[in-house]
Structure 1
Amino acid sequence: MTVTATKFTPEVMLSAPRRSPGVPNPSGKLVLYTIRVLDIESGNSELLTEDPEAGCPVWVGEEKVLYLKTDSRGNTTFIVRSVKSPEPESYDIGKINAPLSDLKVKKLPSGNIALACSALVNPDGELVNPETDKKPLSSAKVYTSLFVRHWDTWNSDRKRSIFYGALGEEDGKLVLLGNTLTNALGGTNLSSPVPPFGDSADFDIGPSGLVFVAKDPELDPATYTKTDLYFIPLKTFTEPQAPAPRIIKTPGLEGYSQTPVFSHCGTKVAFTRMHSRQYESDKTRLILVPDINNPDVTEEFYATEDGAGGWDSRPEAIAWGLDDSHLYVSAEFHGRRMLFQLPSTPSKATQFPKLIETPKGSVVGFSVLHRPGSETTVTTADILFVSSTSLIDNSCYSIAHPGTLECRLISSTSKEGKSFGLSRSQVDSIWFSGAGDYDVHAWVVRPSTFSKDSKKKYPLAMLIHGGPQGAWNDSWSTRWNPAVFAEQGYVVVCPNPTGSTGYGQDFEDAITGNWGGRPYQDLVRCFEWIEQNMPEVDTDRAVALGASYGGFMINWIQGQPLGRKFKALVCHDGVFSTLNQWATEELFFPIHDFEGTLYENRAAYEKWDPARFANEWATPELIIHSELDYRLPVTEGLAAFNVLQAKKVPSKLLVFPDENHWVLKPENSLVWHREVLGWINKYSGVEEEQKSN
């Protein structure tokens, strides 16, 4: 953005440029993101192509980029483009009659370039093009087993699979060898990337083959979370048939496997894995495969005899140092996603990972920069390219030096929030005593016009996060952005009560079987702390908003004493009755969080049922729900609205027929913000203040 907004509004937020995490080229001088290239030294960027059908760009040389173009007929073309100016060259190297995504490449010792991507296949392992696929005459769907639907899609016999191939050079140009791709998972009954959010992070390419994660085909995916790591040995990536995948064994750990990454030498793999096979938010453990050709041997970092793991954090993304002696991992910590360094051998990791200095906010991506001669230097001299966001900045690129505290800003789309009319001075955090012997953290975002010297009091907007194993982090969002509410004239408080991630696994696990217990009491303590310690906040004009589990908590609050403290409530895709949790798709979620099935432990579901207290509902409430939300079906919103209307409680229903658990379409998002802000502003008095100004 080049013009500073006079006020940060939903329109400003949604129109702001969006950048993917940056990926450096081999020399570390240029960075590829979205469909642009950034020069690190100058900070200038250039658009690769204006084609709206282009995507998935990857480096295939110092100044060459490979990307995919999928046309309206579902056909995908591989295109190579030089980033040289002023007349960059581009050419096609192959076409596949199906949509492809999640492109990844790796230069092989032979000089060729291995590539892998994902695509939809039929039960025979053949590519499927939804645009040209034969349409059934009837819309009927018949099922005799779970999974019936997932996230926002009715399941079918189509599934995702990984395809591989190789690029060679002819007459100075890259070509797709054999002009074909091979289904790596053909005949295996495995699917990867893992739906609904799996992407290229679910697999990686090494000089000796592919590693990938996939659901255990022997377990019901609706009731189990178990995903395993597999290795497929490949030498040239032109093999017409892939060898059978070999499972990586991790005795005692049977939960999600995620983010496999080959070492630079190509013989080792690091990845993460959870313990429980029925818990999506278990603590992730960092695992090493010392020799990928011996998949029976793995080592766990910070392992303990009791199996709990010594490092009380959840590692996520992984990168290897240039000489493979160190690992860099990201993990949540106290409301931020931070970056850490540790030795790449578990036996040498005798101390917990070292925190690396990064910009204020949360890391969303990072890469180790290559430098001439770096192969002979120690990894404390590694340089990291870091992509991050914050509560006031939607995209920030920086250079971090793990060996020092130095971190240098390279580029910010919003000039560190200035283009939005936002500043870091608006962001604060508080700690308050929770319902037990522990403290709870919350983020605070104030209006840009806020002045401590003023006698003006601002109404409270309390935002309650979903998950419930989630957290409000110092990071950007276009769906629930605290700054949007703050700029309306609220002091926004975003608490991370019991169940939140980033504050230790015990704190996170304590919400199990306790949905309306400790978390609710933590929110009560938060409200009381604000009343007693934040004189600039007018709690008599408070409003509360939440989505998903946060929507459950809004409906729970409605039937509890705290509900009478708020002038208005907003419930987005929330839970009306926990007895309806078995209408969801991922059944392992209620099985874990309510400590059993509905028919085996009905009392646990009834205990925290918001509908049980519907006779107490009295606070004006806006209900928002979407018809493609299969996680929490639209009937949950309809039931809550019907109760409010029948009780003559002021209420409004907003429904999106074409959205899922999230509101993603820009025009729908504008309507969402208009209705939400209009609702809370009406009851908090902000509407009258805005008219008077």
Structure 2
Amino acid sequence: MTQKRGIVAEDLMELKSVGEVDLSPDGSKYAFVETKIDKDKHEYVSHIFVGHVIGGEPVQWTYGDVRDTSPKWSPDGKYISFVSTRSGKSQIYLLSAEGGEARQLTNCKNGARNPIWSHDSSTILFTTSLAPNQQITDINNQKKDEKKALEPMVVERIRYKSDSVGFLDDKRQHLALINVKTMQLTQLTEGDFDYTPGCWSPDGTQITFSADLTDEPDFNLVSDVYILSIADKSVNKLTNSNGVFGEVTWSPDGTFIAMIGHEKEYDSATLSKIWIYDVLNKELRCLTANWDVQIGDVAIGDFHSGNSNPGIIWTDDSKGFYFVMSDHGNTGVYYGSIEGEMYPSLLENQHIYTLSVDSKNHKAVVGISTPTHPGDLYLIDLSTGELKQLTYSNDHFLANIELSSAEPITFKAPDGWDIHGWVMKPVFFEEGKLYPTILEVHGGPHAMYANTYFHEFQVLTAKGYAVVFTNPRGSHGYGQEFVDAVRGDYGGRDYLDVMAAAEYAETHLNFVDKSRLGITGGSYGGFMTNWIVGHTNKFKAAVTQRSISNWLSFYGVSDIGYFFSGWEVKGDLVTDAEKLWKHSPLRYVENIETPLLILHGEKDYRCPIEQAEQLFIALKKQKKPTKFVRFPGANHELSRSGNPKLRIDRLNHIKDWFVEYLG
């Protein structure tokens, strides 16, 4: 028998991710995306697979060194639409349900995405980017190696860049239709706005979309839901320009429109709720106003990417629906009724990261991940909870790998609040031995560590470290008061929560070596790492990733800084600069003695690299132990969906720093 080993950073190249699942209309088959890494090119490759729910190996339907994503069955079951990069830009393609070659459906100049079938399977609603002088009929004829002329960039809007796409141009995301048989294109929207598609009305005469069509979208920061008539392109607004709403679905009988959103009562810390719009009476009401949970999947991980929340999935009788919610480190599937009753269909210690429902037969295919299972697809009977595994994507590779499980812990913060988290023992743990221990802090801060696979954690436990990760106040999953408690108090009680986790590890885990504690985190977790080493010398080594060090400069350089600073820190560069400086780790840089590794992506526009540069120079000027690693071309998503080689390099830098200073 082969001796098992712990996992290493490079094993990321061997692991496959399965997700973006879609059940066929009759519930007999499921299409999904399998993503893996081309080990020679260090690039992601995604393909469409189709399987039968009764069993058997899923069959690969698309091939090539491309990204094939977003598979959707036509309602008549004859086709699968998907998005592919095979032509050089993302375009929509069709596959016959009987197999064969894919047919390119769109050839839009700036690509096409987000295909949504009409109920009669004749037409697909999709999005494409258009400049003011472009038409939907303009085709993509730009060669891959064609270079644009060098031009100065003129900026007039406060929102002129985005971490996901970089610097914004004058293109806007618009809605369009394409007839599957005739290939006729119809542009539905226009103007200097971005539109997100929602769904079709059951009779096919209308579609829904979400957008901010207010006079000052850069300042109002809302998302309204609209109904658009296809015949005359008239629109009807369903929400009140006072919140963020989206993920819209229409009930099969046409009487209700469901959506997920909130009215920004707590700005970015507001829990998302389920809302129902009565089409006949033109009334909008919140179904979960008194339910203190977050609707949707907000779990933090570093393995799965590209999966989106499924929204509200109606049952055939239009009396109820299924949805995903997040609670206490888990995501689960719930059933809700139009009267507002909510019942769990699947809620275990696990992460549901993708979902497709056979509403007629109350069955579903779900993607499930746990700390020791990267993720696979399962068929679930939503009435009985019975599970049947459909894919075994990583079983062969993991057969010789030893993974560390995550054991839940709960402890008290200094003010008595309960804080929840997990501890992972080192791989091949030996009773009676003391181990260096690393405390992990997640980003957000309005997100949630969960019972899901985390490659970074497994790499560290395989190297002989214990890992402690928790959800301090500010995290989702523990109610509205808990998630809101961090705003205006960054580095206050949230800092005490994280330190309470370290104290718990020292006093309750007899295998923790108190003299060899490390800490790391990214984004908000990077802020907290910077803050902690400026306020205590408890930790022998620290790694800060894509962090915030200076709220004063963050205000003007981050793509969200001008509003996030007010929402979260409750300070403003113009009217209350001292508040921003008070909560800036850079203010306390003179106190830092802990050896600090600084990791940052050079194309990070969410927490721009100047945040790392300021911290590094301030430390080096004082001759403090530090090192700065810059990742070329990487944005804020480096650890999750960044270049595979750079993701591996990042993990090894983290591991090597702790090896150097913790042993």
TM-score bucket (shorter structure): 0.7 to 0.9
1:228 paired residue number: 224
Following superposition of structure 1 onto structure 2, how do residues 386-405 of structure 1 map, counting pairs within 5 Å?
Answer: 386-405=366-385
2:479 paired residue number: 504
1:263 paired residue number: 251
Q: What one-letter code is carried by the residue in structure 2 that aligns with 1:62?
A: G
- 1:413: how far off? 2.2
- 1:96: how far off? 1.9
1:578 paired residue number: 551
Structure 1 unmatched runs, 5+: 168-174, 194-201, 303-308, 375-381, 686-693
Tell me, in whole angstroms, the C-alpha distance in 2 between the residues paired with 1:184 and 1:674.
49
> Which of 182, 186, 190 in structure 2 is aligned with 1:182?
186
SS in 2 for 1:667: helix
2:194 corresponds to 1:191: yes
Contact 2:119 2:200 in 1 (8 A): no
- 1:67: how far off? 3.0
- 1:409: how far off? 3.0
- 1:28: how far off? 1.1
Tell me, in whole angstroms, the C-alpha distance in 2 between the residues paired with 1:406 and 1:51.
36
SS in 2 for 1:677: helix
> Which of 319, 323, 332 in structure 1 is aligned with 2:313?
319
Which range is displaced more, 134-143 or 467-476? Answer: 134-143
Tell me, in whole angstroms, the C-alpha distance in 1 between the residues paired with 2:547 and 2:588.
16
Which range is displaced more, 62-71 or 669-678? Answer: 62-71
Judged with a 3 Å threshold, the aligned counterparts in structure 2 of structure 1 residues 5 and 658 are, in CA distance, closer, same or farther, namely farther
Contact 1:567 1:620 in 2 (8 A): yes
Tell me, in whole angstroms, the C-alpha distance in 1 between the residues paired with 2:594 and 2:56.
51
Which range is displaced more, 397-406 or 615-624? Answer: 397-406
State the superposition RMSD in angstroms.
2.5
Q: What one-letter code is carried by the residue in structure 2 that aligns with 1:206?
A: S
SS in 1 for 2:81: strand
Tell me, in whole angstroms, the C-alpha distance in 2 between the residues paired with 1:129 and 1:506.
51
SS in 1 for 2:217: coil
Tell me, in whole angstroms, the C-alpha distance in 2 between the residues paired with 1:96 and 1:130.
6
1:690 paired residue number: none
2:449 paired residue number: 472
SS in 2 for 1:471: coil
2:74 corresponds to 1:78: no
Contact 1:56 1:67 in 2 (8 A): yes
> Which of 105, 119, 142 in structure 2 is aligned with 1:107?
119
Judged with a 3 Å threshold, the aligned counterparts in structure 2 of structure 1 residues 499 and 4 are, in CA distance, closer, same or farther, namely farther
2:200 paired residue number: 205
- 1:591: how far off? 1.3
Q: What one-letter code is carried by the residue in structure 1 that aligns with 2:131?
A: N
Count of aligned positions = 620
Tell me, in whole angstroms, the C-alpha distance in 2 between the residues paired with 1:58 and 1:279.
34
> Which of 101, 106, 113 in structure 2 is aligned with 1:90?
101
Contact 1:224 1:588 in 2 (8 A): no
Contact 1:254 1:277 in 2 (8 A): no
2:398 corresponds to 1:442: no
Q: What one-letter code is carried by the residue in structure 2 that aligns with 1:578?
A: W
SS in 1 for 2:156: coil
Tell me, in whole angstroms, the C-alpha distance in 1 between the residues paired with 2:101 and 2:539.
59
Tell me, in whole angstroms, the C-alpha distance in 1 between the residues paired with 2:400 and 2:493.
37
SS in 1 for 2:70: strand
Could you report, residue by residue, the CA deviation over 1:234-285 in whole angstroms, capped at 9, with x for unpaired residues?
Answer: 3xxxx6xx512221135xx722112111222244211012112882331112
- 1:370: how far off? 5.3
Following superposition of structure 1 onto structure 2, how do residues 79-478 of structure 1 map, counting pairs within 5 Å?
Answer: 79-83=94-98, 88-90=99-101, 92=103, 94-98=105-109, 99-108=111-120, 112-124=121-133, 126-127=135-136, 132=142, 137-151=149-163, 152-167=165-180, 175=181, 177=182, 179-187=183-191, 189-193=192-196, 202-207=197-202, 208=204, 209-221=206-218, 223-234=219-230, 243-250=233-240, 254-276=242-264, 279-291=267-279, 296-302=282-288, 309-316=289-296, 317-343=311-337, 345=338, 348-349=339-340, 351=341, 353-358=342-347, 360-369=349-358, 374=361, 382-415=362-395, 418-419=398-399, 421-422=401-402, 426-451=405-430, 454-477=431-454
SS in 2 for 1:524: helix
Could you report, residue by residue, the CA deviation over 1:628-681 in whole angstroms, capped at 9, with x for unpaired residues?
Answer: 111111111111111221222221110012011121001111211121111111
Percent identity between the two aligned chains: 21
2:52 corresponds to 1:57: no
- 1:312: how far off? 0.5
Tell me, in whole angstroms, the C-alpha distance in 1 between the residues paired with 2:88 and 2:465.
48
SS in 1 for 2:64: coil
**TM-score, structure 1 as length reference:** 0.84
Contact 2:522 2:545 in 1 (8 A): yes
Contact 1:559 1:617 in 2 (8 A): yes
- 1:516: how far off? 0.4
Q: What one-letter code is carried by the residue in structure 2 that aligns with 1:79?
A: L
Judged with a 3 Å threshold, the aligned counterparts in structure 2 of structure 1 residues 321 and 5 are, in CA distance, closer, same or farther, namely farther
Judged with a 3 Å threshold, the aligned counterparts in structure 2 of structure 1 residues 441 and 101 are, in CA distance, closer, same or farther, namely same
2:52 paired residue number: 39
Contact 1:279 1:589 in 2 (8 A): no
Could you report, residue by residue, the CA deviation over 1:101-139 in whole angstroms, capped at 9, with x for unpaired residues?
Answer: 22221332xxx4331121111124524778739976433
Judged with a 3 Å threshold, the aligned counterparts in structure 2 of structure 1 residues 266 and 32 are, in CA distance, closer, same or farther, namely farther
Contact 1:101 1:118 in 2 (8 A): yes
Q: What one-letter code is carried by the residue in structure 1 that aligns with 2:418?
A: D
Following superposition of structure 1 onto structure 2, how do residues 543-558 of structure 1 map, counting pairs within 5 Å?
Answer: 543-558=518-533
Q: What one-letter code is carried by the residue in structure 2 that aligns with 1:336?
A: N
1:688 paired residue number: none
Could you report, residue by residue, the CA deviation over 1:128-160 in whole angstroms, capped at 9, with x for unpaired residues?
Answer: 778739976433111233112121511211111
Judged with a 3 Å threshold, the aligned counterparts in structure 2 of structure 1 residues 522 and 95 are, in CA distance, closer, same or farther, namely closer
- 1:553: how far off? 0.8
Judged with a 3 Å threshold, the aligned counterparts in structure 2 of structure 1 residues 290 and 621 are, in CA distance, closer, same or farther, namely same
Which range is displaced more, 24-33 or 273-282? Answer: 273-282
Q: What one-letter code is carried by the residue in structure 2 that aligns with 1:301?
A: L
Contact 2:32 2:50 in 1 (8 A): yes
Following superposition of structure 1 onto structure 2, how do residues 583-594 of structure 1 map, counting pairs within 5 Å?
Answer: 583-586=557-560, 587-594=562-569
SS in 2 for 1:298: strand
Contact 1:80 1:93 in 2 (8 A): no
Contact 2:604 2:634 in 1 (8 A): yes
- 1:394: how far off? 2.0
> Which of 682, 690, 693 in structure 1 is aligned with 2:660?
682
SS in 2 for 1:429: strand
Tell me, in whole angstroms, the C-alpha distance in 1 between the residues paired with 2:213 and 2:250.
22
Tell me, in whole angstroms, the C-alpha distance in 1 between the residues paired with 2:3 and 2:253.
47
2:460 corresponds to 1:485: yes
Following superposition of structure 1 onto structure 2, how do residues 605-620 of structure 1 map, counting pairs within 5 Å?
Answer: 605-620=580-595
Tell me, in whole angstroms, the C-alpha distance in 1 between the residues paired with 2:629 and 2:185.
46
- 1:596: how far off? 4.0
- 1:91: how far off? 5.4
Which range is displaced more, 149-158 or 531-540? Answer: 149-158
Tell me, in whole angstroms, the C-alpha distance in 2 between the residues paired with 1:444 and 1:258.
36
**TM-score, structure 2 as length reference:** 0.88
Judged with a 3 Å threshold, the aligned counterparts in structure 2 of structure 1 residues 560 and 370 are, in CA distance, closer, same or farther, namely closer
Judged with a 3 Å threshold, the aligned counterparts in structure 2 of structure 1 residues 400 and 277 are, in CA distance, closer, same or farther, namely same
Q: What one-letter code is carried by the residue in structure 2 that aligns with 1:366?
A: L
1:666 paired residue number: 644
SS in 2 for 1:502: coil
SS in 1 for 2:118: strand
